[in-house]
A and B are shown apart, each in its own frame.
Chain A
């Protein structure tokens, strides 16, 4: 059967199970768009190609399926770069399809020509430049295999205009991936678990460090089984949140720079760290020289290159987490570790209950109030997509996620502007989920053009803007480390309620805590998109905080004046 390269592209995507794509048309991708109309594909027209990549990313993280973004050559492709890098850092499987100028024009600086495979080489798992229709099916099929295989990540397929237009034989069977057996395969010795089990069974004060790999591997049940069987407390990374229920008694909460003080203290006091699908990012370790010095360390990660990268470990296992834990579980000796658990509980003191959420309502609206109330009103059951900054940390601290894949956020790259488009992708992937965007006034203004996409697609997404008139996290650093010299952090904004109204979206402004419930409930029950502009305390900071590169146990705590008020 002879088809055009463009038809082969869609035939291949449909066979890979693709039903939704996020994109923006243009000259070099026009043949593909023309052919698309004949296929059962929902195309979401974005307002900027960066949005398309974040949507594909949000779609992938919400569903576990590969997200697809489409753009034209040149500027369309370069606009994708931030989204691709975001997906790379957070191991999110997306496939980006870009048009390219005709193969005869490559290298001639033709209109809208750009070397996008060169540009994205270090931020993709792999990429393809396709110059003939014969290669289209194999490239697409391999792209999906690479994107979802091993440690997932982004793959880009750049297809020249003539490769889309010319015709070739379409043979799906012949296009099956020919990845070498060596690619990303286990090496001898990668999976040895006996030494790890010995360490684990002998440990008095073990601690599980739970990362994004748990959700990616689908190992939620195994991790919980391990923790319960051996009575091991669990500390979460930002992207690990949700993979263990927040209400589980062994779940201590988040670790790291803005983690709970008792979690960081537990890491520093443990005699064994069991790192599961996490990568010892500098935001969770602080100063590596003083990090968990009393602990032996076991590290399981599917990506061998993560092992012994930042932290030297005693046992390094390169393996799919679920498979590794299935092997472990029968060998783990059930054990009472109540002295260790009691020690952690004691170190909590009253710090767990005396932070800002318990402040009496003195007329000020604090971001923590908003997040805490949002959690209470949604029963911890919403799919939250947070942006980057202070609100992201407050969300992680105050919204208690009970289920896997209910927090989507840009962790590794820290991409402001991620949340709104990622939420659009998440909602399209999981239309039944109650989706909330939690975003600052800075990040929202980076990609708020996607409100139009939300309207055009008639998506019931609720947007909570945590508006403090500052680039808050940077302002906080200036307050702590730059003598309160607020260089370029005060930021103005339009009237967000009016802006949303202009897009045909229900909107309201909230300035006091008593109005939070009403606004959230109205948004939840409307079956339409809603934007709530929460105008919160302007110069609040996220506590506790481990300054960049400082010892993990040396945290900046909330100034005592406020704590005293709380305990009154």
Chain B
């Protein structure tokens, strides 16, 4: 099954390589991997999507903790979480087609961020399903190019996820916060 991990790592050169190398070395197949800054300076957050069984997920978590720059690993697969992907799609659209595309953009609550005589660039954010679906309807008009970020994910509620892999940062107190409910 598809597992989604959020992995907190030290923001240092080569860390992405270490994590990616672990997945490759242990023959895990990465569906998606994103990395970016967090609210804490010096700390980056990765969202890694992997197709593996439960045993594989537990071993992967154990392997991640054996990497020195890894601070925390949360397997949020079974938690309530929000996941988003961002895509930029350049579509060939002139004349009547342009109107149709703009209508589709409205339906999908996407945005047009660049206009040229021959094409439009559409920005959309959402689950991968939603973006895939938008892409399908745009395809007949001629998708010239596309860039996607891959999945970023976050558990709902105020406290970080506390699965068996979850743990606090050194010195950080995470009490029995009750989730404030999903939005």
Contacts and interface: CB of A to CB of B under 8 A. Distances in A.
A125 B65 CA distance: 11
Given A121-B18, A305-B63, A181 B170 contact: yes
Given A180-B169, A181-B167, 14 more contacts: A118-B17, A122-B21, A125-B66, A129-B14, A180-B68, A180-B170, A181-B170, A182-B169, A183-B66, A185-B65, A187-B65, A187-B165, A189-B164, A304-B62
B73 to A, nearest CB: 8
* Ranked 3 nearest A-B pairs via Cβ: A304-B62, A305-B62, A181-B170
B163 to A, nearest CB: 10
Contact of B14 (A117, A305, A318): A117
A307 B170 CA distance: 26
Contacts of A117: 14
A146 interface: yes
Interface in A113-149: 117-118, 121-122, 125-126, 129, 142, 146
B70 A183 contact: yes
Interface in B21-37: 21-22, 25
Contacts of B62: 303-305, 307, 318
Contacts of B164: 187-189
Contacts of A122: 21-22, 25
Interface of A: 117-118, 121-122, 125-126, 129, 142, 146, 150, 179-185, 187-189, 303-305, 307-309, 312, 318
Interface string B8-22: 001000100110011
A304 B59 CA distance: 7
Given A121-B17, A121-B18, A180 B59 contact: no
B59 A179 contact: no
B58 interface: yes
B71 interface: yes
A184 B55 contact: no
A182 B167 contact: yes
B55 A312 contact: yes
Interface residues of B, number: 24
Interface of A is mostly: loop
Contacts of B170: 180-182
Given A125-B66, A305-B66, A182 B71 contact: yes
Interface of B is mostly: mixed
Given A121-B21, A122-B21, A180 B66 contact: no
Interface in B158-179: 164-165, 167, 169-170
A336 B141 CA distance: 80
Given A189-B164, A304-B62, A126 B71 contact: no
Nearest to B170: A181
Contacts of A185: 65, 167
Contacts of A308: 55, 58-59
B72 interface: yes
Interface in B118-154: none
A179 B71 contact: no
A312 B56 CA distance: 12
B65 A304 contact: yes
A146 B68 contact: yes
B23 to A, nearest CB: 11
Contacts of A309: 59
10 contacts: A121-B17, A121-B18, A146-B68, A150-B66, A182-B71, A182-B170, A183-B65, A183-B68, A307-B59, A307-B62
Contacts of B169: 180, 182
A189 to B, nearest CB: 6
A19 B10 CA distance: 33
Interface centre among A179, A189, A309 (most CB of B within 10 A): A309
A287 to B, nearest CB: 19
Contacts of A126: 67-68
Nearest to A181: B170
Nearest to A188: B164
Given A187-B164, A305-B59, A182 B68 contact: no
B70 to A, nearest CB: 7
Contacts of B55: 308, 312
Nearest to A118: B17
A188 B167 CA distance: 9
A540 B68 CA distance: 47
Nearest to A126: B68
A150 B62 CA distance: 13
A185 B165 CA distance: 11
Contact of B71 (A125, A180, A304, A312): A180
Contacts of A304: 62, 65
B119 to A, nearest CB: 38
Nearest to B167: A182
A117 B18 CA distance: 11
A184 B167 CA distance: 12
A310 B176 CA distance: 37
Contacts of B63: 305
Contacts of B70: 180, 182-183
A142 B69 CA distance: 12
A126 B17 CA distance: 12
Contacts of A118: 17
A146 B70 CA distance: 14
Interface centre among A122, A305, A307, A318 (most CB of B within 10 A): A305
B68 A179 contact: yes
Contacts of B22: 122
Contacts of B71: 180, 182
A117 B21 CA distance: 12
B65 A182 contact: yes
Contacts of B66: 125, 150, 183-184, 303, 305
Contacts of B67: 126
A125 B165 CA distance: 21
A312 B165 CA distance: 20
Contacts of B17: 118, 121
A199 to B, nearest CB: 20
Nearest to A151: B66
A191 to B, nearest CB: 13
A141 B72 CA distance: 23
A117 B68 CA distance: 14
Nearest to A312: B55
B155 to A, nearest CB: 18
A126 B21 CA distance: 12
B37 to A, nearest CB: 18
Nearest to B22: A122
B17 to A, nearest CB: 7
Nearest to A142: B68
Contacts of A305: 59, 62-63, 66
